Chains A and B, each alone.
Chain A
Amino acid sequence: MNMEEIKLLKDGKRLDGRALDELRTIRIEAGVLNQADGSALVEWGKNKVVCGVFKPGECIPRHEASPYEALLKVRYTMSPFASLEEHGRSGPSRRSTELSKVIREVFENVVLTEEFPGAQIQIYIDVLQADGGTRVAAITAASVALANAGIPMRDMVAAVAVGKIDGRLAVDLGKDEDNFGQSDTPVAIAHRTSEFLLLQMDGQLTREELMQATAMALEATEEVHAKQKEALLQYYEKGKRGELQL
């Protein structure tokens, strides 16, 4: 296939008809799982990501426990049926190991781990369906699930990818834009402080483009945060949090 022939922009619109600064439709639901202490489901375009969080518990294995802070244990996995490219297995792979690590580092910056020395906090993220941008959907889901579980945090985290397609900067790249564009730059931002907790760059951007991309990400994560807040408010207004655990 000749890469030059693929046009990702047509009349200023993208393949799925979005404008350059337009996000895909995002639907977030908090508290979707019964057995986890906190959970969230994020449907971000065609992505479907579910996250479950457990409150601080005994650290296993015990020798890993820190006397100063709780350890975060993040496991990101993709289902065998998540996309065409996973080869029918969902065990630890190079990709999921990397994502588990970067997501853990995002939340190590906001969770008040010093409140629970010697304990561990588990975050499980399962990607049920993937269509580009699963790590930002995963971070968005995990943030809602942590709030839902009542884990003390300094901030809510919202994430979005910015990239370059056909020479133009665009937010929230889909799978084809990710694969055939010139750059994909996922960004996670703490809402209150506007601190950047994740910044990865695939492909290349110039210094000016990167500055512009981060500004676009700041704007887009506001929108993502609004969805997160809406999901949590709705959850409490409906009074769904309340099924007794016997």
Chain B
Amino acid sequence: MKQIILPGEKIADGKLRVSHTFTDGDSTYAAVLGFLDEDRFMPLEGPYQPRQDDVIVGIVIGVRSAGYEIDINTPYGAFVQSRDLRIRLQAGDIVMAQIYGGGKEEAKLTQVRRLPAGKIVHFQPMKIPRLIGKKSSMINLIKEGTGGEIIVGNNGYIWISENCNVPKALEALEIIQQKAHQSGLTDEIAALLK
């Protein structure tokens, strides 16, 4: 039974180390709005917090002499030194990269690659696992159904290639975002893309 949990509601007895929760006394409480599926707490809302090895999609927002400022959907952004890059970037370019380190500061990026022109979508970061699905089942379904390439950043930015059926992909993304906390989503998406 899935149950929607508000911030401050108890999710378990005993102190647990689960992300998006906090402990007080001998119990663990939700820190953000989410739902409880049996004993698993899944957040529904929340800002992106970078972690080691996350694959992210970023947008170049500033070009400095030493490197590039990149918007990766965090309060702190990211900076890539141009001497660490083999390519030149321009403001507005879309890049794909991996987080190195993570934490509550300006993020360090590795493996920076420029992506060709495409559509950028801002998805809710907490619902990215649902969009990817078990063993990438959901995202592969959408890729097959729309005939293009889609790169999902853990930070909530999604890049959709130009040869994709973009309206259809957007429709699928919107449904997933709306119904992330419901079951039977894969069937619905499969039906949509047929």
Residues of A bordering B, CB below 8 Å? 38, 55-59, 70, 110, 112, 115-120, 146-156, 190-192, 228-229, 232-233, 236, 239-246
Contacts and interface: CB of A to CB of B under 8 A. Distances in A.
Interface of B: 4, 6-10, 20, 22, 24, 29, 31-33, 43-47, 49, 75-77, 104-105, 119-124, 126, 170, 173-175, 177-179, 181-182
B174 A232 contact: no
A191 B47 contact: no
Contacts of A116: 47, 75, 104
Contacts, number: 112
Contacts of B122: 244-246
A164 B173 CA distance: 54
Contact of B123 (A38, A147, A239, A244): A244
Contacts of B49: 115
Contacts of A59: 75
A190 B6 CA distance: 13
A119 B170 contact: no
A244 B8 contact: no
Smallest CB-CB A-B distances: 10 pairs? A150-B45, A242-B178, A150-B46, A119-B75, A152-B31, A155-B8, A153-B7, A239-B178, A242-B177, A245-B122
B173 A244 contact: yes
Given A119-B76, A156-B7, A244-B173, A239 B179 contact: yes
Contacts of A192: 8-10, 29
